[in-house]
Structure 1
Amino acid sequence: MTPEQIEEIKYMLSMTKEQCESFVDAGEYSDQDFIDLYAASKELLAALEESKQDESRLQTAIDWWDNYSRDKSEELAEAQQTIARQQKVIDWYESGGSMGELVEEGSDKA
């Protein structure tokens, strides 16, 4: 449906019954034009319903991805904290600390 057709439908749908009858009587629109308008409006309503269903499905997908992203961000933060703790132990050990000292000190370095 072209933008012009949509505008024509909007215009025709905004008419009152009396305006429609006067346009038909004046010969500007035919009965068939109004039948076509009715068919087009049914198509538009069907398209609107379909777009609402699409929107619902898309919102469900967005919600799922938000939750997934949040979970992965939490996992990443935990992994970064683990890496930082392990790096502290490696740095301490490389600076001359021994594994025996590490065990004696408990989790201070871990």
Structure 2
Amino acid sequence: MIEISLKTESTELKNGMYDVVREVLEEVLGDLEKEKSPALLTRSQLAKEIFNVNIQTVDTHVLSRPDFPRIYVGSKPLFPRDQVMEWIRKNTLSESLPYGISHLKKAKEA
């Protein structure tokens, strides 16, 4: 457990310092968790750790897409964590692009 104590007169400064320290700690702890997790994910890990949904939802809405990154070891599909995160970033909905960036590029090519 990490405990931090600040002594200051200003509550605003104290709260600001706590926020900065918390953000740094969250980033460091996130990096440590990422190092613990495998570079290649199974279908189950993908559903649970990345999308936080059940396997059927991942099968229906994600793995059915031909552009979703995967490799095969024998006949078993595995999903490269870094490529999956990049795919999510590229395909995340935004207010100005209703189907994500990759769909916009495909529409321009057509």
TM-score of the pair, normalised by structure 1: 0.28
TM-score of the pair, normalised by structure 2: 0.28
Higher helix share: 1
